[in-house]
Amino acid sequence: MYKTSVAIFLGAILLSVAPARAKSSLLTHTASITIAGTGSDVTGSGTGGACGSVQTSNPWVDRCSADTGCTCIQFMPAKVSKGQTVTDFFVTVDSNLNPAVGSTVGGGPTPSCGALYAAFNVTTSSKSEAANLLGVVCKTVTGISKTNPSGNNVGNSLGGGWGLDETVSSPNSSGWGTFTGKTVKASNSFSVTVTGLVTQ
């Protein structure tokens, strides 16, 4: 599985639609945002190579199902929609948790997926929020043919769910939703879009 450009994004929060609670001081809105940039492997200080306290104070990414087999990736966002700022973006990929059980058949592509844990902070002029991501990353293969039965690994596809860490968001916020994304091996780049609901 291609590690260096594994990317993920969990989305930042933009309150943009009519409130779902007309009689409450709390307002619930839909959220949608896209982030893009590059990523690189870093030496994980957590269990099994996961991102740990050296990389980030968020314990969400300090997870690995074994003593080895995890990778820590740091995201460097270059472009964030809606004018928000994303910082402290770290991802742990656990290759031990591969749902494709078995070996390559007949010279075809090697099945490769893994669990993904990520965390980041997003800020604007009026709020600061922390988001956690839980998902899966799977290798993307193209160019499969009789002369190239294993194909070419061109990156990864990403998907899963996200939620806000209410304990460190200011003002107090809750939120959750889903995300999709991809990485491109040739450029070490990523793009992820997140959607969901936020109450603040």
Looking at residue 95, its pLDDT comes to: 94
Looking at residue 24, its pLDDT comes to: 55
3-state secondary structure the chain: CCCCCCCCCCCCCCCCCCCCCCCCCCCEEEEEEEEEEEEEEECCCCHHHCCCCCCCCCHHHCCCCCCCCEEEEEEEEEEEHHHCEEEEEEEEEECCCCCCCCCCCCCCCCCCEEEEEEEEEEECCCCEEEEEEEEEEEEEEECCCCCCCCCEEEEEEEEEEEEECHHHCECCCEEEEEEEEEEEHHHCEEEEEEEEEEEC
Phi and psi at residue 112, in whole multiples of 5°?
Answer: -155, 110
Of 87, 93, 86, the C-alpha closest to 6 is 93
Q: Where are the domains of the chain?
A: 28-199
Instruction: Average pLDDT across each block of 10 residues of the chain; the chain has 200 residues. List them in order.
Output: 40 38 69 89 91 89 95 91 85 93 81 93 83 95 91 94 85 90 92 89
Looking at residue 91, its pLDDT comes to: 93
162: its two tokens:
């996200």
Looking at residue 123, its pLDDT comes to: 83
pLDDT in tens, 121-172: 888 877 888 899 999 999 999 999 989 999 999 999 999 999 998 777 777 7
112 exposure class (CB count in 10 Å sphere: 0-12, 13-18, 19+): middle
Q: Measure CA of the first residue to CA of the last residue in the chain; give whole Å.
A: 38
